[in-house]
Structure 1
């Protein structure tokens, strides 16, 4: 499932870039994310609790920064997580593009390509798509409060 989300970040590109690549600082802007810790260079462990329709999911997984190019304002991430109780997992490849609009405002474009495996994939794309969209919107609001 592919999704694209755009939001305005009320900060310069330099400030926004520094925050977005500080995973332990920015990950809690995603609703339900907790216990984020470093697990090596450019790799982090995290836990996320989320309700999708009638199902409560408890993901444990990793966030990897695969590439980052400050000059282009672009970074690539891979998120892999599993919920052992429900019996499913996700793998998301994410591209973040940061564009400077002015001295104190940037545009963040997030493109994700997510694969749902196991029982999680059985929830149905419309339900998952709505939840993913609302989660990205909440992330954007929370991020604006962080800067």
Structure 2
């Protein structure tokens, strides 16, 4: 599935570009993500997603395939696998920065493939969740840019702190919760029918 998000940050491109490439610095702004290692090109870490009472952890890597400073364009290819399950996630993320009224407009296009439990919600729900997560990321990034004074760098956290899981039901809102409950109810009804059929056979 293809997703497209846009947001702005209150800093010129010359400041926003290096910060968006500073993975360790912006890691706390990425919902559900924990960065374990970064060598300037490859990121190793994990992403946690909660689906109702179940928490799914994807662990893998993300590699910068392109970092075009002159065009302010980056391409990131990420892939991960469930630590306890067969589900996978793969994404190609293309980000473009453009100067806008003293700030920076960020356009992000994501080609996403997800298997496993989160995939059951479909494109519409994942797009809705993506919109809200990008909004949280943009707000956090804007706050960090706003409070950073010229010539002063924020301390780098060497030991990654475990991130809170992305709660799909809570993030997507009541509409998704209703769909999940309907799916659960359908599963319960199906189970009851199977049990009755078995009892009749016996």
Q: TM-score, normalised by structure 2?
A: 0.65
Pairing partner for 1:128 from 121, 126, 129:
126
Q: Which runs of 4+ in 1 moved over 3 A?
A: 52-55
For residues 92-107 of structure 1, the aligned pairs below 5 Å read 92-103=91-102, 105-107=103-105
Q: Which has the higher strand share?
A: 1
Shift of 1:117: 2.7
Matched with 1:3 is 3
For 2:65 and 2:140, the matched residues in 1 are separated by: 24
Q: Is the alpha carbon distance of 1:78 and 1:68 closer, same or farther for their aligned partners in structure 2, counting shifts above 3 Å?
A: same
Matched with 2:150 is none
For 1:124 and 1:113, the matched residues in 2 are separated by: 14
Once the two structures are superposed, residues 76-101 of structure 1 have per-residue CA deviations (whole angstroms, 9 ceiling, x without a partner) of 00111111324211110010000011
Shift of 1:52: 4.2
Give the conservation status (yes or no) of the 8 Å contact 1:53–1:127. Answer: no
Let me know the Cα RMSD of the aligned residues. 1.8
Pairing partner for 1:143 from 141, 144, 150:
141
Give the conservation status (yes or no) of the 8 Å contact 1:92–1:113. Answer: yes
Can you give the 5+ residue segments of structure 1 that lack an aligned partner in the other structure?
A: none
Matched with 1:75 is 74
Q: How many residues align?
A: 145
Give the conservation status (yes or no) of the 8 Å contact 1:89–1:120. Answer: no
Q: TM-score, normalised by structure 1?
A: 0.88
Q: Which has the higher helix share?
A: 2
Can you give the 5+ residue segments of structure 2 that lack an aligned partner in the other structure?
A: 146-202
Matched with 1:35 is 35
Greater length-normalized contact order (CA 8 Å, ≥ 6 residues apart): 1
Once the two structures are superposed, residues 52-95 of structure 1 have per-residue CA deviations (whole angstroms, 9 ceiling, x without a partner) of 46642212111111001111110100111111324211110010
For 2:35 and 2:17, the matched residues in 1 are separated by: 22
For 2:36 and 2:11, the matched residues in 1 are separated by: 24
Matched with 1:59 is 58
Q: Is the alpha carbon distance of 1:43 and 1:13 closer, same or farther for their aligned partners in structure 2, counting shifts above 3 Å?
A: same
Shift of 1:37: 1.4
